[in-house]
């Protein structure tokens, strides 16, 4: 039977590549505990604050370039926070000193930077564990609720069986939801500790009821404030034994009392990120099991890419790429644990994702179970020339709150623009209502509105061209680009150029390229399809715009 199943997986992968979907969750866990993903320096002065912020900007730029649309940012660490909370002290990962402010609100900053890049930010809240027994977070909680903390070895845990725990965690999540423009609350370790002595003799139905009570309390509070905020968690990677495959005694439902399927069914969760840090027959049948029991909600298996590290289990890249291809084939998203193993291009994973697996942007699937109402279509789409080959695309909408209505922009040489084709997406979840775009006489644009539930309006297309002809394309003033090389204008030699800088239309740096004053082109073969600006950069840091180009292979 296992041999037949392996052949089935190989057959799926050998089929022609599944077209890149318009809707797919592409996520990373961005860990702050100990600064192992971010930050890598402490904020203790104005200069070091800027350095810490730039570190995060760089990480998010890397993630944006490869199509990541969801960032799970560790917000509650271990009874400590990365924002000024009225309940718990600052974590030491930001300032270097537990309990001390870094001088800025890291959560607010991260949300703003993610939204600039069209990404969702979900506040990742570690729930039951509260750190070392004598560490700041646990110590303060012991004073606040002396009878509600459990000590297991050297660590402290909130009691998973008490109403006080449910109410307290609900208050924490409500604080984040109320004060910040988050897109989701992501619960981690919402379960019984596996080392809890009574777990062996615990009545499992009673245990599941206790954990569900906590989840329900949090979900009710969050949804009462902002019903569009996604509720999610990261359960153990195997829900339970399946009819044919044993979970080897480690699963969510039976082992640690996480009835995550019921949370989906009963509307307590919108999305699951099961921690599927496994391979082969420990992965594929259990991924299918999650899919079959999704109740129409979003399932995003977490991939243990840290196991590719030679310091861990030295998995080959093909173990992960095979999982990615199968997940896409069965309609599931993917999440990487952790961010740094991804952006460090461990065994070429980042390169694979950028050049092959995620060549085009993707939208997060809409929460149709919460709302099916499509927003009003934008209106007054205009394209105004502001420079040679560059125009300002602008539009209007009836919704005046820019945080409640966002926009997706599409471009194509065919008219009307096909907004069902992910290859035509050039900007997603844009809060602004204008965008700099190339105007080459043959590229057409369309704009849709999207609400906080992810529902998308009908597209607003450009006015139908009256005398459009393919020959107009030969009059383009864009820089010549064949998908491998881009023209470098002579103006670069007048600007003391040291490097060439490639930026997105939103002004986000994509990459720097070496500059050769005798070369008439630059290599852009490793940059994914899209519309970009080319700029010069001299040794003093001054930059000049050289032109715009389109990569469409």
Query: How does pLDDT run across 126-160, given as a tens digit for each residue?
Result: 999 999 999 999 999 999 999 999 999 999 999 99
Write down the pTM of the prediction. 0.85
Distance of CA 189 to the CA centre of its chain: 20
Confidence at 533, pLDDT banded by 50, 70, 90: confident
Q: Are residues 342 and 458 in the same domain?
A: no
Q: Are residues 180 and 269 in the same domain?
A: yes
368-401 pLDDT, tens per residue? 999 999 999 999 999 998 876 788 999 999 999 9
Q: How many residues does the chain have?
A: 553
Q: Are residues 80 and 229 in the same domain?
A: yes
Residue 410, domain extent: 379-475
pLDDT of residue 15: 38
Enumerate the β-bridge partners of residue 188: 126
pLDDT of residue 466: 53
Confidence at 509, pLDDT banded by 50, 70, 90: confident
Q: Are residues 185 and 231 in the same domain?
A: yes
Would you say residue 362 lies in a domain?
no
Give 15's contacts (C-beta < 8 A, 6+ positions apart).
329
Q: Are residues 244 and 332 in the same domain?
A: yes
How many whole angstroms separate alpha carbon 167 and alpha carbon 26?
32
Give the burial string for 358-374 (b: 16+ CB within 10 Å, else e).
bbbbbbbbbbeebeeee
Q: Once rounded to an integer, what is the mean pLDDT over residues 350-371?
A: 95
Element (H, E) at 349: helix 349-352
pLDDT of residue 495: 65
Q: Are residues 385 and 491 in the same domain?
A: no
Contact 420, 22 (CB under 8 A): yes
Exposed / middle / buried, residue 207 (Cβ in 10 Å: 0-12, 13-18, 19+): buried
353, pLDDT greater than 60: yes
How many whole angstroms separate alpha carbon 4 and alpha carbon 115?
45
pLDDT of residue 490: 80
Would you say residue 519 lies in a domain?
yes
Contact 123, 182 (CB under 8 A): yes
pLDDT of residue 239: 98
CATH number for the domain spanning 450: value is 2.60.40.10
Would you say residue 152 lies in a domain?
no
281, pLDDT greater than 60: yes
Q: Once rounded to an integer, what is the mean pLDDT over residues 417-421?
A: 95
349, pLDDT greater than 50: yes
Would you say residue 451 lies in a domain?
yes
3, pLDDT greater than 70: no
pLDDT of residue 300: 98
How many whole angstroms separate alpha carbon 93 and alpha carbon 110?
15
Domain boundary among 475, 510, 536: 475
236-249 pLDDT, tens per residue? 999 999 999 999 99
How many whole angstroms separate alpha carbon 518 and alpha carbon 340?
37
Q: Are residues 467 and 330 in the same domain?
A: no
Confidence at 545, pLDDT banded by 50, 70, 90: confident
Q: Are residues 121 and 27 in the same domain?
A: yes
How many whole angstroms separate alpha carbon 463 and alpha carbon 415?
10
Q: Are residues 307 and 393 in the same domain?
A: no
Would you say residue 365 lies in a domain?
no
pLDDT of residue 6: 43
Number of domains in the chain: 3
pLDDT of residue 454: 98
For 454-519, the DSSP string reads: --B---EEPPPPSS--GGGGGG--SPPB-SSEEE--GGGGGTTEEEEEEEETTS-EEEEEE--TT-
Calculate the alpha carbon distances from 20 to 110, 193, 320, 333 in Å. 28, 39, 18, 12
What 8-state DSSP symbol labels residue 425? E
Domain boundary among 325, 357, 389: 357
284, pLDDT greater than 50: yes
Angle at 38 between CA 32 and CA 41, to 5 degrees: 115
How many whole angstroms separate alpha carbon 457 and alpha carbon 441?
26
How many whole angstroms separate alpha carbon 64 and alpha carbon 116?
10
Q: Are residues 116 and 190 in the same domain?
A: yes
Q: What is the mean pLDDT of the chain?
A: 91
Element (H, E) at 521: strand 521-523
Least confidently predicted of 87-91, 173-177, 481-485: 481-485
Would you say residue 461 lies in a domain?
yes
Angle at 127 between CA 124 and CA 132, to 5 degrees: 110
Confidence at 550, pLDDT banded by 50, 70, 90: confident
pLDDT of residue 469: 43
CB atoms within 10 A of CB 139: 19
Confidence at 8, pLDDT banded by 50, 70, 90: very low
pLDDT of residue 395: 97
Would you say residue 191 lies in a domain?
yes
CATH number for the domain spanning 292: value is 3.20.20.80
Would you say residue 135 lies in a domain?
no
Domain boundary among 443, 475, 507: 475
Sheet with 543-551: strands ordered across: 509-514, 497-504, 530-538, 543-551
Q: Are residues 253 and 112 in the same domain?
A: yes
297-319 pLDDT, tens per residue? 999 999 999 999 999 999 999 99
466-503 pLDDT, tens per residue? 544 443 443 445 788 988 999 998 877 766 788 899 98
400-411 pLDDT, tens per residue? 999 999 999 999
pLDDT of residue 471: 35
Element (H, E) at 125: strand 120-126
The residue with tokens 């100990």 is 34
pLDDT of residue 543: 79
14, pLDDT greater than 50: no
Q: Are residues 538 and 492 in the same domain?
A: yes
Contact 91, 77 (CB under 8 A): yes
The residue with tokens 């020959």 is 471
How many whole angstroms separate alpha carbon 442 and alpha carbon 468?
8
């Amino acid at each position: 039977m296992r041999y037949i199943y392996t052949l089935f997986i190989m057959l799926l992968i050998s089929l022609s590549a599944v077209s890149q979907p318009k809707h797919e969750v592409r996520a990373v866990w961005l860990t702050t505990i100990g600064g192992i993903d971010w930050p890598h320096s402490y904020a203790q002065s104005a200069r070091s604050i800027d350095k810490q912020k730039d570190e995060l900007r760089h990480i998010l730029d890397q993630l944006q370039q490869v199509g990541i649309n969801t960032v799970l940012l560790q917000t509650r660490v271990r009874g400590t926070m990365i924002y000024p909370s009225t309940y718990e002290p600052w974590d030491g990962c930001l300032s270097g000193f537990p309990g001390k402010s870094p001088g800025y609100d890291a959560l607010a900053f991260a949300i703003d930077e993610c939204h600039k890049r069209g990404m969702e930010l979900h506040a990742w809240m570690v729930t039951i564990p509260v750190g070392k027994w004598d560490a700041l977070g646990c110590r303060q909680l012991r004073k606040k609720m002396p009878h509600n903390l459990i000590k297991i070895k050297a660590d402290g845990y909130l009691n998973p069986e008490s109403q006080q725990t449910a109410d307290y965690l609900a208050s924490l999540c409500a604080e984040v939801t109320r004060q910040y423009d988050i897109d989701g609350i992501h619960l981690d370790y919402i379960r019984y500790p596996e080392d809890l002595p009574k777990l062996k003799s615990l009545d499992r139905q009673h245990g599941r009821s206790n954990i569900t009570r906590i989840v329900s309390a949090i979900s009710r509070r969050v949804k009462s404030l902002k019903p569009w905020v996604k509720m999610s968690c990261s359960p153990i990677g195997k829900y339970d034994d399946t009819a044919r495959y044993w979970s080897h005694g480690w699963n969510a439902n039976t082992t640690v009392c996480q009835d995550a399927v019921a949370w989906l069914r009963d509307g307590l969760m919108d999305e699951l990120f099961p921690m599927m840090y496994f391979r082969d027959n420990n992965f594929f049948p259990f991924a299918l099991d999650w899919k079959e029991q999704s109740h129409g909600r979003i399932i995003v298996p977490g991939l243990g890419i840290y196991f590719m590290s030679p310091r861990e289990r030295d998995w080959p890249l093909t173990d992960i790429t095979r999982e990615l291809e199968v997940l896409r084939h069965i309609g599931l998203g993917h999440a990487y644990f952790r961010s740094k193993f991804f952006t460090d291009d461990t065994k070429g994973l980042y390169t694979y994702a950028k050049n092959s697996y995620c060549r085009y942007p993707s939208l997060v699937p809409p929460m149709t179970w919460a709302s099916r109402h499509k927003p009003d279509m934008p209106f007054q789409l205009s394209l105004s020339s502001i420079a040679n080959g560059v125009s300002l695309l602008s539009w209007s909408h009836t919704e005046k709150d820019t945080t409640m209505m966002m926009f997706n922009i599409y471009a194509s040489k065919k008219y009307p623009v096909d907004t069902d084709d992910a290859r035509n997406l050039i900007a997603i979840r844009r809060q602004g209502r204008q965008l700099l775009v190339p105007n080459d006489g043959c590229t057409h644009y369309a704009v849709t509105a999207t609400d906080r539930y992810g529902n998308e309006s009908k597209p607003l297309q450009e006015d139908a061209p009256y005398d459009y002809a393919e020959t107009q394309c030969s009059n383009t003033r864009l820089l010549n680009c064949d998908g491998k090389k881009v023209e470098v204008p002579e103006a670069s030699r007048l600007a003391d150029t040291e490097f060439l800088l490639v930026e997105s239309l939103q002004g986000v740096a994509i990459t720097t390229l070496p500059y050769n004053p005798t070369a008439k082109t630059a290599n852009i073969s490793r940059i994914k399809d899209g519309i970009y600006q080319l700029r010069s950069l001299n040794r003093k840091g001054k930059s000049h715009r050289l032109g715009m180009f389109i990569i469409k292979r």
